[in-house]
Structure 1
């Protein structure tokens, strides 16, 4: 049993590593400067949306990673150690036009120790910790640097645009998918024609925290997605492994 569990964990880690390599090399870049690391939960959730998250604990590390990753957007906590957060924002804005989001705890005021100085330094929005992936995604879609090139996925006749929330088959837009089916299709497209495990789909659709549904719920969404795609593609169930999107 232990050997089987070890192999399953290894496969799961391999799929996750594949997805993270994909978004790191071709996805949009989000830099988070905040000493309260969330253990990778945000990175897992954003990877399914084609956004690679680099999380550092200080503004000094933030400067290094800003130069290395050239991020589309930067989330910075007012309390991050190193140089003052507002000075950090001023410096990075001298070297580009990143979309800056001030990170704050619920209930923080906008005074000298809050987000006020960051807004004056050039932050354009505020996000409350713990950072919600959907909220950050909504903010990123309004950033000056378009996410459209990273939000588009194509495989065979299927083209998905996460920014426009659209799916086209053979160039024709189909009716908007419910959110879970849209995220399911995106997760399958990211790995196509490879296999995505049930656990990986749970991560993509429901995140890594809290109660997550079982295999029957995933199967229900897969069945509905199959019906919407018709003959353009098939979502194959590979017993003991997961699901794979195939065309032709």
Structure 2
């Protein structure tokens, strides 16, 4: 799990993550679902939570489906730039699936399986797969393949606006190279959401989704306003958050 959020966080004596850091990890998944690089994994085996967590630390969101039939739906819904396809996946033959998605775009296709000597692996590579990944998946192996793909994913865990830099994996905010005091989780999430759209206005609805995900309906604009007030104070003048009445909030970073 090199470079993952889990590696950057301290663990309890039993090896588990403290409650606050588990919340940070869940926040990481929400961020990448909204703004991260999306990788579609088409594999009949059960999803690997540790792989999902490690890639979230890199700003990469995994969508995992167990059949090529479901994968066609997921491909149309998420429009991923990278697709991992395991040989032997049920549904439409994997080679036909790869041929179909390449008719409707130019995704970076990665074939996967137990052995590269499997004849089915060669068929996928001929059909348009550009790389090979052994199963079961290791986060370091997947990251190495993604890092050399035409679609860079490295920057999704890190957001930079002028001299202001936010690193989601390290849970770090810096201004002109100087690390700022750690922000509480919700202010950190709020700042990242604003930086991702800077200098555009982020609507209240989008901020609610970024901060609370599926629980957004239990919170309102007053709660956002409270966190904005706190964030303004904690930023200490290095950046300003302005309210655009009826629309949302926008971030301005000092040069």
The answer to whether TM tops 0.5 is yes
Alignment of 1:69-218 (within 5 A): 69-105=78-114, 107-111=115-119, 114-147=120-153, 150-154=156-160, 157-159=163-165, 186-189=169-172
Question: CA separation in 2, counterparts of 1:23 and 1:98?
Answer: 19
- From the superposition, tell whether residues 61 and 117 of structure 1 become closer, same or farther in structure 2 (CA, over 3 Å): same
- From the superposition, tell whether residues 185 and 80 of structure 1 become closer, same or farther in structure 2 (CA, over 3 Å): closer
Residue 22 (structure 2) pairs with residue 22 (structure 1): no
Shift of 1:237: 10
Partner of residue 232, structure 1: 178
Question: CA separation in 2, counterparts of 1:185 and 1:18?
Answer: 9
- From the superposition, tell whether residues 140 and 108 of structure 1 become closer, same or farther in structure 2 (CA, over 3 Å): closer
Q: Which TM-score applies when normalising by structure 1?
A: 0.60
Partner of residue 59, structure 2: 50
Residues 57 and 168 of structure 2 are in contact (CA less than 8 Å); yes or no, is this contact kept in structure 1? no
Secondary structure (helix, strand or coil) at the match of 1:68 reads helix
Question: CA separation in 2, counterparts of 1:59 and 1:185?
Answer: 32
Kindly tell me the number of residue pairs found equivalent between the two proteins: 173
Residues 157 and 169 of structure 2 are in contact (CA less than 8 Å); yes or no, is this contact kept in structure 1? no
- From the superposition, tell whether residues 57 and 233 of structure 1 become closer, same or farther in structure 2 (CA, over 3 Å): same
RMSD of aligned C-alpha atoms?
3.2
Residues 84 and 112 of structure 2 are in contact (CA less than 8 Å); yes or no, is this contact kept in structure 1? yes
Shift of 1:135: 1.9
Secondary structure (helix, strand or coil) at the match of 1:143 reads coil
CA deviations on 1:118-172 (whole Å, 9 max, x unpaired) are 0011000000012121222222223233336635423784547xxxxxxxxxxxx
Residues 232 and 247 of structure 1 are in contact (CA less than 8 Å); yes or no, is this contact kept in structure 2? no
Q: Which TM-score applies when normalising by structure 2?
A: 0.58
Shift of 1:57: 0.4
Following superposition, which runs of at least 4 residues in structure 1 exceed 6 angstroms of deviation?
none
Alignment of 1:31-42 (within 5 A): 31-42=40-51
Partner of residue 197, structure 1: none
